[in-house]
Chains A and B, each alone.
Chain A
Amino acid sequence: MRAARPRPARLSAADVLRTGAAGLRTRPARVVLSALGIAIGIATMISVVGISASGKADVQRRLDRLGTDLLVASPGVSLLTGEKAAFTPGAEKTARRIEGVEHSAATGTLTGTVRRSDKIPEEDTGGITAQAATETLLATLRGELRRGTWLNAGNGRFPSVVLGSVAARRLGVDEIGRQVFIADRYFTVIGILAPLPLAPEIERSALTGWDAAREYLRFDGRPTSVYARSADGAVSRVRGLLPRTIDPRNPQDVKVTDPSAALQAKAAATGAFTDLLLGLGAVALLVGGVGVANTMVVSVLERRHEIGLRRSLGATRGHVRLQFVTESLLLSVLGGAAGMVLGSLATAAYAASAGLPPVVPVWSISAGFAATLAIGTLAGLYPAVRAARLSPTTALQTP
């Protein structure tokens, strides 16, 4: 009689998990300590990615509101005189005729300084420029007034001024009706603008009406900047047409900029710092993985009897290997899960304090999970192989 060859049983997934978890349940302090490294690594990476994503989402949200369809044209520097040239009067009206342009406006830089009063020395400009502005500027920039009114056909003829947000702060003006000294006379503040992220040069300006500038400030009426707001999708075409429309004779000198692109570039530039922190997180994760591996090696040494017993109960080498890899995986996943929660909380807390929309990208969570699984497997493999190689009889020997 010949007996059939014995075949080892396959453990169910639940039994594999139970056996793997059994080794952790009896050593809770060690579990916490060795999972901590992984938790810190994952938390760092998730929060770095989350905070940077929240920042980008914030820029995107602001851009969506401000629009990415604003173009600013400025004249080049004259080759003959070396001075900054100006466009011909009415250049903004010409720009408006380009198909796809919905709003256009012009500003003209004025020569006089802007001061709180005539007692302040003339050199003390505070970085504020006086500019003439067309009535259409506010709508073109989608700007808002914090106080007072905007320039119009009526007040634009009188010595009235609207201050940009930064200019108002530097001049210490917080209410309308105050007077500021421009060039050689006082102007009455009739409005203060809210911040304009797409036009920081306007934030730093004191704006007078076009006619008032000609009348009181010797303005020649030639625009030094033309703003054009185009319809959806028309920006690139408008960009191509703008130079030769507003300056047909020297189109090559006209400089056209897209302020939203600058804002986007600034947001992208914060990425370099992010990479550094991400690298730090990766190092923490690696150290965490080494910690798990170390815990597992110690665990295998300590649990020789258990391994021997399991072999005597019929565990194959594969069963023992699987048990220790599972244990290492659980340890690592535990740390990873804690890290994800911590990282998400840190992102939420930072976003809340900085007024950003909290974003934790799904890819960062999946990448964190994948990294955790990979580290758990790698850290557990060597100890597991050692455990499985242990001879059952030596494992069972009482020391």
Chain B
Amino acid sequence: MSPATSPSGEPVVELTAVRKEYPGGVAALAGVDLTVRRGEMTAIVGPSGSGKSTLLHIVGTLDRPSSGSVRIAGHEVADLRDRELSALRAQSLGFVFQSFHLAPGVSALDNVADGLLYSGRPLRTRRREAAEVLERVGLADRMAHRPHELSGGQKQRAAIARAIAGDPVLLLADEPTGALDTASGDAVMALLHDLNAGGTTIAVITHDHEIAATLPRRVRLRDGLIVSDTARAAA
């Protein structure tokens, strides 16, 4: 195993007894303990409605748990105010969504550069770093293209570029290949593997068993509980 995936890295995500209940009594998460260490690449799998997206939102500090402790990059989320969580997302987290969420009518370069807006970098720096990261995801020749001029796979690569532009501690992806054909999906997964090899900690939600099988660690959810975790099994 490569040193990047060694489980001895410092913890980036530490969930302890995390519950999330939605109004109406649905327990989307029913007591989850999960630790993700720096450099890991984790697949989160499970049937529809098992709580995968909910878990990702809580890890990504987009939502707070009903109970339990969430520590992200060393910060106890319950101790932080909303604006501090926003700052934490700006500095330490990157998100990739199934439906890309690129701004229409805006070039790939500016879409990526805008991802750095809330980190406080000046425009020139944002543009320069966006160009660098677009080169890394293989879109050097598509920077001026607007989303409707890109293929699905290219859109997702631009979205990944936006997510990693700020060099986040943790990259979270919710079904990044869900809207793509197999070839484009494979290219996106290859890119994520490359990034992980470069040191980025990644968690990917996926429905695709083949894709899940290629990841070093797999966490399986059912009814809001972790039913299997290859890391824990190995330990």
Q: How many residues of A contact B (CB 8 A)?
A: 37
- Give residues in A with beta carbon < 8 Å to B: 1-3, 5-12, 14-15, 18-19, 22, 25-26, 305-306, 308-319, 391-393, 396, 398
What's the minimum C-beta distance from B126 to chain A, rounded to whole angstroms?
A: 9
Instruction: Give the A-binding residues of B (Cβ under 8 A).
Output: 57, 60, 62-63, 73-75, 80, 82-93, 95, 97-99, 101, 103-106, 114-115, 117-120, 122-123, 162
The 8 Å CB contact of A317, one of B75, B83, B93, B97, is B83
30 residue pairs of the A-B complex, CB under 8 angstroms, read A2-B74, A5-B80, A6-B75, A6-B80, A6-B84, A7-B84, A8-B84, A9-B87, A11-B117, A11-B118, A11-B120, A12-B122, A14-B123, A18-B123, A26-B104, A26-B105, A26-B106, A309-B97, A312-B60, A312-B62, A312-B93, A312-B95, A313-B95, A313-B115, A314-B87, A314-B118, A316-B82, A317-B82, A319-B86, A396-B62
Please measure, in the bound complex, the distance between the C-alpha atom of A18 and the C-alpha atom of B95, giving whole angstroms. 23
- Given A6-B80, A8-B90, residue A315 in contact with residue B101 (CB < 8 A): no
Q: Are B90 and A314 in contact (CB under 8 A)?
A: yes
Compute how far the CA of A7 lies from the CA of B91 in the bound complex, rounded to whole angstroms.
9
Q: How far is the CA of A258 from the CA of B215 in the complex (A)?
A: 100
By a CB distance below 8 angstroms, the chain B residues around A3 are 73-75
Report which residue of A26, A312, A317, A318 has the largest number of chain B beta carbons within 10 angstroms of its beta carbon: A312
- Please measure, in the bound complex, the distance between the C-alpha atom of A294 and the C-alpha atom of B101, giving whole angstroms: 25
Asked if residues B97 and A396 are in contact (CB atoms below 8 Å), the reply is yes
- Closest chain B residue to A398, Cβ basis: B99
Residues on A with beta carbons closer than 8 Å to the beta carbon of B117: 11, 15, 19, 313, 315
- Complex: A2 Cα to B106 Cα, angstroms: 40
Chain B residue at smallest Cβ distance from A312: B95
| A172 CB to nearest B CB, Å | 73
Collect the chain B residues with CB atoms within 8 Å of residue A391's CB: 63
Q: What is the minimal beta-carbon distance from A392 to any residue of chain B, in angstroms?
A: 4
Task: Name B120's closest neighbour in chain A (CB-CB).
Answer: A9
B153 to chain A, nearest CB (A): 18
Distance between Cα atoms of A275 and B94 in the complex (Å):
58
Contacts of B60 in A (CB 8 A): 312
| A316-B86 contact given A5-B80, A15-B123, CB 8 Å threshold | yes
List the A side residues contacting B91 at CB < 8 Å. 6, 314
- Chain A residues contacting B75 (CB-CB under 8 Å) are 3, 5-6
Bound CA span A9–B86, Å: 10
Given contacts A9-B119, A311-B62, contact A22 B86 (CB under 8 A): no
Bound Cα distance A179, B187 (Å): 108
A317 proximity list for chain B (CB < 8 A) = 82-83, 86
Min C-beta distance of A394 to chain B, whole Å: 9
Known pairs A9-B120, A393-B62; A311 contacts B86 (CB<8 A): yes
